[in-house]
Structures are given as structure tokens and as C-alpha cells.
Amino acid sequence: MAGRIDAGTPPRGTTGRPVADAEAALVRHYRRLVRLAYLALPADRDRHSRVLAAHAAVQRALPSRWTLRDLLAEPVGPDEEPLYAALRQRVLRAALRPRPGERLLAPRVWGLRLFTPGGGEEEAALDRELADLDAPARAAFALLAVDGLTPAQAAGALRQAGASEPGPAVERAERLRAGSEPARPAFDPCAVRVQPTDLLRRRRARGVSLGIAVLALTASAAILAGAGSGSGGGDAAAARPRAVPPSGTAPDPGRLVRTPADRWQHTARMDFSAWPARGDRRDDPALLGRALAAWAQAGPQTRAEPGTDTAPPQGAPHLLFAGTVDGTAVVVLYDGGRLARYTDGRGGGLDLARADDAGVTTAAAVVLRREGTSARYLLAPWIEAADLRRSDRPDAPAKPLERTDGVTAAAAAPATAASPGPFADCRGAAVLQLRSSPAVAEKHVFLLADLGGLVPAHLAYTPPPDRAQPARQPREAAGPDALQAWARGGCAAPDASPGVKQLSLWTFAVQQLPQNAGAASWVCLRADRWDGEGSAATAVLLPGARGPQRTGGGPGRACSRFEQDTVGWTWWRSPQGTEFLLVAGSRRVARIGVKGPDWTADRSTPDHTLAVERPARAPVTVEGVLDGGTRIAPLR
């Protein structure tokens, strides 16, 4: 049972000097407390500021003698150290109610930028999900994942820290935690990478010699120890610089990062930072200077995809391409989080797109140039073969796509960024079929769809459930079944516009239709954007139908790994003319209930489907009941 510590009695194992004992407890649990603060703090700042804010929150947690006396009077768990619980409470209070002025008092690092090492795509997805939570839910997630508290204990700790409604916060955190855990060192602000800031600008400004970095920390030695214990993986070029020059100040073209041509074969960071500089004008300082100037000062010719910041480049960008494409000079740059494509001359300008947390598939191609209804792409150095195939002709063989130094021949594509993508009108269009080098993954074939933006969207597919097997995992959409599913259901995608990172199609149920009319496939299509937003739509593919029939949809995280249960319904007229209400749910839907104006159907559904014969169509209410008793409603 939880109890209270008598304020006048020193906790067991202490010396009777409360503040000194609290300091010892803080040092002993420093790494744990800083990690808890890092997860709980708002994600509206760059990783450098977030690391420093987490250390500041813990270092300011050391209480006075009188404050500590009050904290020790709070109830603690049976197995918890009272001093640690008291320190944690002060850290949580700082995370729940961050004050803007406290950023001025955070530790300062001059000449260096600090980053938690980048994790994989799962860690990036978790970080985006945490950013969408409010402060109490983030703090609850940290308590569950870092301290291993039970939901009741986490709610109690939040209540003591000042959260007004800890119960709902813990529920939201539990739903997120069910999908993933924060891995180390991606969420460990004591294991950091160090990257220099703008060295040339600092040399000119301060008159010091190149190569001398002045480090001045008001943080304790613990942060230095944490920086030294960080992961040794990666390299300086792979780190993500965050030094932002003043608005209108263009970086020096001579500072552009040029990655060696074979870097991708020796790094585990397979994103745009592993691309070498290509193009016949990559040593043209005038062209590179114009591109950098356009990025440093956003203007009328700057076009940014949804969710993309138009701020100047962060640090020294990577040069990915500078060359002449169809008679026009094109430059492609990458600053660790965004891609910038500069097109020279009249009608040109700057196009910006999110590209953070990319991987082998999502960093596989960039649109270099659009001309009419065709486009040329720049492919990643790890792409061994490139083909084109029609999205509406799954049985037709793919056609090889010629390329030179990574630049492809002109391929059919949307004419402009405002044109519909290949799945918007059910008429079909060309998609890229790429195969990566065996040095990356053996026989790895995947599809990309040009949606009119700067980076094509990755296509994924999840096959129908198998009752004898665990839940299926998403896979590449390049197999025969996946191609057939996308050809039939792709145009029900909820979003096929620039800024979409991945389009996924999940066949969540197969229903045998009444009167021997064949089988219907129920699918959920999901669009995930680079900025972390997403939307989903359910649809049914009926025998003989020309296209999918949408049954619901909307924004949110439905049909993602964070919300894997769904149900859909539609009216259907059989070939004999009988009206049926068709309902289908995902693999955990054990019962389906339907309410009409004057009738009700509520049945156990071993095959997760239900067909109800009715004389006429009428408004109905449908719900699915999961095997654990939770009720879910269809997407609207």
C-alpha cells in the first residue's frame, strides 16, 4: 500500500541531511529523470533545445529544505524511493507547465549542437504520436514506459504533480504504449551526438581561427558525461545540423556538404544524407549561390508543401543535384529535415517539402523536373533497377525506365502539383517500380506513386487476415495480390496529394455474399503525411463493380498500427434483386450489431462478417464488438 513519509523522520537509507540526500538521489537517478523529462516536454522545439530543456528541468528539480519536507509528506508507492519520487514530482510539474522564460535559463552550448541519435521509422512515428498528445498524456507515457508504473500509480503521480484529469491522460498514454516503447538511445538525452554550428560565420563574427569551437556550459558535468557516452554510430555528415542563419543570409556555396559516392554502402542511415552530389553543374558556384539565396529568403516564387516550414536552411545543406535538365538548371538541396528544389530562370523558383525521418523507400526518388504530363526523377544511389507500370493493369509487365547518373528518362506523371495522383480518378497512371541493391536488401522491390509533389509516396499492402496466423504485417505492394488490390481499390484512397509520405491498403475482411454471388473484399486505405497527419477510408470491392465503393473515412489514425480495429457497412442488391445490408469487421471483431427503424440484429460473427436481408433500405446504426468487449463504430 502507498503511504506517507513523516516529514520529521529521515527516509530509510539517508544521512538525515535532506537536501544533500536529495542531491545524491538526483545524481544517482539523473539519466532516468532526464529521459522522463525529455519524453514529457513539448515537442515544438528542435532536438537541441529539447535536450537542454530536459537537463534544465532536472537540474532545477533540487528542492530547498522546506520544499522537500512538503514533498516527502506526499504518499509514495510501497517499492518507491521517497527522495526519487519527490524529485520526479518536481520534474513532472516543470514538464506539465513549462514557462517561456525558463528557456532563457536553460544550459547554453556555444559552437555545438546536441541531438539524440536518430532511431528508425518506428521511433520517428512514436515521436510524432507523442507530439500530438497533450502534456499530461506525454507525462503519463513517460511514467509508464520509463518508470514502469502501473496505470493507477501513474495517475497518482500526475495528480500530485498538478494534473487536473490524470485518468484520461493515462488512458491515452496506455493506447500509445500498446503500440511501441521508446527505444534507447533515440529518446535518451544523455546519449547525444555533437555537431558543430556554422563555423565560417562564427569565425567571421568573432575573429577566431577556423577549427576552434568554444564550449560554455552552465549545465553540470552530468550532461558532458552523457554526451561522451552517446552512440558512436553514424558520422558528421549524417547528423542533422540545426544552426539557422539570419533571415536573408544565404549560406556560402563552398560550405555545402558533399557526401562521398559510396557513403550509402557504409552507413545504416539510409536517408537523403547518404545521397552523393550529382549533376553536370555541381561545381557551378553561381548557380549554387542563386539556389541558396532563394532558400534563404522566401518570396513569391517559393512553393511549400503542406506542413513544410519556409525558414532558411538549417546549417550547411547537403548538395544532392545541380545540373541541366531539359534545358533548365535545377538544384536539389537537403538540410536534414527538408528538401529544396531550385529551378532557374523564368517560371522557376523554389519548391520545399518535408523529408525528415526518411528511409530506404521514402528517400528513393525525387522529382527533378516536370514538363507537361511527364517528369524526370533523381533516384537514390542504392536503386539498382527502375521500371514503370500501370496502376490499373496489374497483369501487364513493367517496362524498364532508362536512367543516367541517377536521372531517369521522362515518365508519365501528373502535370502539376495540383493535378490528381494515380489513384484519384480510377483511370490509372504510371507508378515507379524500384529494386534496391543487394547491399541494402536482397530482392527488395517496392512501388512509388507520384502524387504531384517533390517526393513520390511509398505504396504498402496488408493482405487479408488468416484466422490461423497472427495479424499480418504491412508489406511492399509489388506482389500479384497487392497489385490486384491496388488496381481495384486504389482510387478509394482518402488523400492522394503532395505531402503524402505513404499510402497503405489493408484488406481487413473477405465476405462470402448471399445467394452464391461471389466474394466481396473490404479494404481500409490510409494516407500518412510527412507532417504526421493522416486520414483513412474504408471501401468494399464487390464482384463485377468497376471500382471501389467508399463506406466511410476521415482524418485521424484509423487503420494504423495505433488503431488496428475497424468495421464497415454498405447496402447491396444481389443479382436476384434482393436488398442486403453487408457489414464486415477486422480480425478482432467478434460480434456485430445493427439497429434499424423497427428491427435489430446482433450476432456473433466467427468470420467477422454479417449479411442481413431487408425489404428496403433505411437508416441504420452499426457497431462492432471486439473480443475484449470494446465497442467500435464505422468511419463516417
Please write the tens of the pLDDT for every residue from 437-460.
998 887 899 999 999 999 999 999
Contacts 24+ apart (CB under 8 A), 19-22: 19/62, 19/63, 19/64, 19/65, 19/68, 21/83, 22/62, 22/63, 22/68, 22/83, 22/86, 22/87
Residue, of 142 and 408, whose pLDDT is higher = 408
CA atoms lying within 13 Å on the CB side of residue 255: 18
Please write the tens of the pLDDT for every residue from 103-162.
445 566 766 767 676 555 566 677 778 877 888 999 999 899 888 889 999 999 999 888
Question: According to the model, what pLDDT value does residue 21 have?
Answer: 80
Question: According to the model, what pLDDT value does residue 241 have?
Answer: 37
Give the pLDDT band of residue 209 (cuts 50, 70, 90): very low
Average pLDDT on 460-482 reads 84
> What does the block give as the cell for 141?
507515457
Amino acid making up residue 347 = G
The answer to whether the CB of 260 falls within 8 A of the CB of 278 is no
Question: According to the model, what pLDDT value does residue 600 have?
Answer: 93
Torsion, Cα of 385, 386, 389, 394 (10° steps)? 30
Question: According to the model, what pLDDT value does residue 52 have?
Answer: 87
The answer to whether the CB of 1 falls within 8 A of the CB of 78 is yes
Confidence (pTM): 0.63
Average pLDDT on 354-376 reads 94
CA distance 333 to 295: 10
User: Which of 91-105, 424-438, 595-609 is predicted with the least confidence, judged by mean pLDDT?
Assistant: 91-105
Give the pLDDT band of residue 219 (cuts 50, 70, 90): very low
Nearest-CA neighbor of 266 among 255, 276, 279, 253?
276
| 248, pLDDT greater than 80 | no
Question: The cell 534507447 sits on which residue?
Answer: 184
Question: According to the model, what pLDDT value does residue 42 have?
Answer: 75
